[in-house]
Structure 1
Amino acid sequence: MIEIKGLQNLVWNSYYPPGDKSISHRVAILGALCNDFLEITNFSQGKDCFTTIGCLQEIGIPIEVQGTTVKIYPWKKLKNKVYLDCGNSGTTARLLPSILGGLNIEGLLVGDSSLSQRPMERVITPLKKLGGLLEGTDGKLPIKVERGWRLKGERIELQIPSAQIKTAILLAGLFAQSPVTVKEGKITRNHTEIILKEFGINLDVKEREITVYPGNLVSPMEYHVVGDFSSAAYFIAIGLLSKEEIIEIRDVGLNPTRTAFLEVITKMGAKIQIINEKVIHGEKMGDIKVFPSTLKGIEVPEDLIPNIIDELPLLGVLAAFAQGTTKVIKAGELRVKESDRIKGIVENLKKFGANIMELEDGFIVQGGNRLKGRDIYCHQDHRIVMAMTVAAIFSEGNTKILDSQWVNISNAPFFTELKKIAPNSIIDLSLRD
C-alpha cells in the first residue's frame, strides 16, 4: 500500500523509463534460440520479463541476470519435459508454447489466478493449424504441449488484433518446413518483426501481411533495449496536468506502432516536443518534452484502439481532467487483460468523483469535475495502479492505493522515479508492500 498526497508542487526532472517490456520478452526468447552469446542491456525490470527468464532457465538455457543486464549463453542440452509457471505474464504463456514445440520439449504451462482466467484459445488454434500439438483447459491455462510437432507453412488470418498471437505464429514459423504468413486485420505493435530481422531472419512485410522464412537465428552479440513507452506515458500525463513544470522523458522508444497515445493526446490539446530522434537495433527512440496543457475531450478514433490498449486506463484519467466529453469504444479487449480494465477504470474514477459511464466495450467521461482522494483498490492490475496514482497526484486530499505492489509486474521503479518528480506527493514510500 502507498499513500499519496494530492495537489503538491512538482519538481522539474528528467525521467528515464525502464527497458521496454515487450522488447525484453522477445529479445530474451530469441537470444535463447541462438547458438552464440547475447548480452542484453537496459532489460525491463518488470516481474513479467523475469518470469520469461525463469521459464527459459527451467528449459535449460544458461542465463545470468546482473541488474538491468542479461547474459544468455549457448545451451548444450535441454530438458525433455518441463513445468513452466508463467505467473501473471500473458506474454510468457502465449509465446513459449511455440518455443517448446519447436525445440521438441513436452511442457505444462500454468499461471496465477488472474492469468488462468485469460483467453488462450486465440493462440492455441492458429498453432494447431500450423501442426502444433497442444491443448488448453476450456480455452485457458493450463496449456499442455506435446512433443513431435511437424510444422507446415500456412497463411493465418488473425481474428483478433494481437501482437502476442502474431508473435506466437511467427516464432512457430521459425521451425516450420516452409514459410508462414500472418495476415493482420489491424496493424499491431511490430517489435517482433524488427527483432527477427536483427537476428538475421528473412521476413517479407507488406502492409498487414508478414511472411517469415524458416532459418537459424544469428545473435547480434549485444542488444540495448529502448525505454518503455507505456511506462513513460504516466510521466507524460503528469507533465500535461502540471501547472508550471516541464518534464523531459529521455531515451524512450518511439516505434510508430506504440505511440498512438501521443496522437490521441495531441488531438486533446497536449503540448509535446520530440527531440534527439535516432534508431537503435531498428527501433526508433528519442526524448519527449512535455509542457503543461489544457486538454479537451475527444472521441478516440477506433482504428487507434489496438495500439493504445495499454494506455487506455491512463487516458480515462486524462479525460477526467479534460474539458468536455471523451468517448472510448471498440475496446472490449480491456475486459480480458490482467483484470477487467473497463470495470477498474470506471469503478475507481467514480470513487474519485469523476463523471464516467461504463460501456460494454469502453467508457464515456464527462470531464471537468474536481476529484477527491479515496482509498482505491486496483484489482491487482499494474496499469490500473499507475493510472490511479496519476489521478491521485492531481486530486484533493489523500489517496491510498491499497494494492500498489502490483506495479512490479511491469515497472518496479515506478514509485521511486515518481518521488523524484513529485517528492511531496509520496507520504511514506515504506508503506509499499
Structure 2
Amino acid sequence: MIKFVVQPVKHLSGVLKVPGDKSISHRSIMLGSLAEGITEVSGFLQGEDALATLEAFQKMGVKIQRNGDRVTIYGVGLHGLKQPNAPLNLGNSGTSMRLMLGILAAQDFDSELIGDVSLSKRPMGRVIDPLTKMGAVIEGNNGKPPLKVRGAQLLTAIHYDLPVASAQVKSCVLLAGLYAKGETCVNEPKTTRDHTERMLNGFGYPVNTTNKKMCLTGGGALTATKIQVPSDISSAAFFMVAACIAPQADITLTGVNINPTRTGVIDILQLMGGNLVLSNEREIGGELLADIRIQSSGLKGINIPKHLIPLAIDEFPAIFIAAACAQGETILTGAKELRVKESDRIQVMADGLNILGIANEVLEDGIKIQGGTFLKPSGVIESHHDHRISMSFAIASLRCEHTVEINGVDNVKTSFPNFVELANSAGMRITEV
C-alpha cells in the first residue's frame, strides 16, 4: 500500500495544465466504439479508470490505438460489439460500470462486469432498476458487482423519473435508449452534468433537452468525429482550493472544462470569498473551456446552496478542506449521494478532519465544519483507497505546521496520474512511500 508523506509549505505558484476530463474520456471511448467510422481523441485522460473503459471495448472487438493522450477508435457501429472471452474488469471505475450496463443490456451476447474491492461494494441498483423496466436481465449480489448481463433481450423505451439526481443513471438509461424501440426520456429532479447529451449530439445523434427532461429515439446511428478532451475540473478543484488556502499563492490553470453543469466548485469557492478569475473562455467540441487564476483568499464559512450540490458532487472532499480553513462554520445538507462514492466521503473526510483537530459534526446527509487551525496530526489519515480523499488531505498541508501522512493513496492514479509531480512543481512537498 502506498502512502503520501506531505511536508508543510506556504507558497504555491505556477501555470499548470491538469489532465483530461475523466467523464469525457470515458464517453469518448464508449461512443467512439459504437460510432460508424474513425473517431480521433486528443487530451485523453491516461488514468486507470479511463484506461479500464478503453481496454473493455478492446476486449469486445473494437480496434483502439493509443499514443499517449491521443486515441484513435475504429468504430464498429451500435451492433458491432463482440462477446468478450472473459469478465470485463473495470477496476475502480463506477462510471464505466454504470454507463456500460446500459450498452451491454442491449447486446445479443452475455457479459460479466467485475471490479476491485472498492467497486464491488458500490450499489448498482439505481441503474439496474430502470434497465430492468426496459427489459434488461442483470444478475448480481444485491445489486453489487460482479454483475452478469444476459444478452438477446429486446429493450423497450421508457420515460423515467430519476429518484435522485445522477448523471450516471441518466447516461445509462439514454445509452440503453439508443437500442430501445420508441422514445426514451429521462426527467431529473436537479440539473446534473450533461456530457453524454452533448457528446451524443456531437456524434450526430439528436438528444432533445427541455428544462430537465432529455429524450432520444432508438434505432439511429452514431457518426465518428474528432474530440478534444478539456482539463478535468474535478482534478483542477484540488489546485483551486490549494491556492485559496495557501498563505502565498498565485496559480493559473489552463484549458479547464467549465461546462455549466460542473462549475459548482467555482461558485461555492467564490461564495466563500475565493479569489478566482476566469479568462480566455472558449468552446471546443461542444464543451466550454477557460483559464482560471486563483490567488490566496480569506475564506469564510457558508451554508452551501442546495442547487449547487449536484454541480459539485465530486469536488466536496476538496471543498471540505476549504471549509476547514475558512472563518466560521460551513454547513452542507442534502448530499446523501456522498455516502456511496468510492468511500463514504462524509464520514471518511470527517475522520481525517478529526485527526487534524478540526471540529465537525456528521449529519445523515451532510456535515457541519467549524473552520479553525490544523493541529499536529493525532494519527495517520486513512483515505480508504479513495483518490479524492487522498488528494484533499495532501493539499491541506498548505495550512499545516506539521507533516501529514495519508494511507492508501494507490487509487490517485485512477483519475490524476501525475498529481504528485504537478503539485510538487508548484511548490508542494509530497513524497510517495
**SS of 2:35's equivalent?**
coil
Q: Which residue of 1 aligns with 2:420?
A: 415
1:6 corresponds to which residue? 8
Larger displacement relative to structure 2 (126-135 or 113-122)? 126-135
State the Cα distance separating 1:148 from its structure 2 match.
Answer: 1.4
1:304 to 297, 301, 308: 308
User: Quick check: 2:208–2:214 contact (8 Å CA) kept in 1?
Assistant: yes
- Aligned pairs for 1:228-307 (under 5 A) are 228-307=232-311
Please state how far the C-alpha of 1:414 moved relative to its aligned partner: 0.6
Equivalent residues, number: 426
Aligned to 1:36: 37
Deviations 1:310-357 (A, max 9, x none): 111111111111000001111111111111111110000110111112
Q: Percent identity?
A: 38
For residue 78 of structure 1, report the CA deviation from its aligned partner. 4.1
| 1:382 positional shift | 0.2
1:95 aligned counterpart, secondary structure: helix
Does the 8 Å CA contact 1:201/1:213 hold for their aligned counterparts?
no
Counterpart of 1:363 (choices 344, 367, 377) is 367
Q: Could you say which residue in structure 1 is the equivalent of 2:223?
A: 218
Which residue number corresponds to residue 25 of structure 1? 26
SS at match of 1:201: coil
CA distance in 2, matches of 1:297, 1:127: 41
Match of 1:190 among 189, 194, 197: 194
Deviates most, 40-49 or 397-406: 397-406
Take 2:318 and 2:75, find their aligned partners in 1: how far apart are those partners? 41
Structure 2 unaligned residues grouped into runs of 5+: none
Name the aligned partner's letter for residue 362 of structure 1: G
Residue identity in the other structure for 1:28: I
Tell me what 2:168 maps to: 164
Check conservation: 2:10, 2:248, Cα contact below 8 A. Answer: no
Spell out the pairing of 1:50-61 with structure 2 (5 A cutoff). 50-61=51-62
Per-residue Cα deviation, 1:43-67 (whole angstroms, up to 9, x for no partner): 0122111111111111111111211
Match of 2:127 among 118, 123, 130: 123
Distance 1:279 1:8 in 2: 35
Give the C-alpha shift of residue 110 in structure 1. Answer: 1.3
Q: Is the 8 A contact 2:122 2:340 kept in 1?
A: yes
Residue 288 of structure 1: how far off its partner (Å): 0.5
Structure 1: gaps (5+ residues): none
Does the 8 A contact of 2:303 with 2:330 survive in 1?
yes
SS of 1:74's equivalent?
strand
Aligned to 2:68: 67
Does the residue aligned with 1:36 lie in a helix, a strand or coil?
A: strand
How many Å separate the matches in 2 of 1:17 and 1:241? 19
Q: TM-score normalised to the size of structure 1?
A: 0.95
1:211 & 1:75 partners in 2: Cα distance? 24
C-alpha deviation, 1:9, in angstroms: 3.0
| Cross-structure match for 1:80 | 83
CA contact (8 A) 2:107 2:153 kept: no
Q: In structure 1, what is the Cα distance between the partners aligned to 2:233 and 2:414?
A: 15
Match of 2:396 among 388, 391, 394: 391
Match of 1:315 in 2: 319
1: CA distance between counterparts of 2:367 and 2:373? 16
Deviation at 1:40, TM superposition (A): 0.8
Structure 2 contact 11–248 (Cα < 8 Å) conserved: no
2:134, 2:374 → 1: CA distance? 54
Query: Residue by residue, what CA displacement relative to the aligned partner does 1:189-246 show, whole Å, maximum 9, x if unpaired?
Result: 01111000000011110010000122100011x2110110000001011111123331
User: How far apart, in 1, do the equivalents of 2:394 and 2:213 lie?
Assistant: 39
Q: Which residue of 2 aligns with 1:207?
A: 211
Structure 2 length normalisation: TM-score?
0.95
Deviation (angstroms), 1:81: 5.0
Alpha-carbon RMSD across the aligned residues, in angstroms, is 1.5
Q: Match for residue 103 of structure 1?
A: 107
Counterpart position of 2:406:
401
- Report what 2:156 is aligned to: 152
Give 3-state SS (helix, strand or coil) of 1:13's partner: strand
Query: How many Å separate the matches in 2 of 1:28 and 1:363?
Result: 36
Residue number among 108, 114, 131 corresponding to 2:118 in the alignment? 114
1:177 is matched with which residue?
A: 181
In 1: Cα distance, 2:113 partner to 2:126 partner: 16
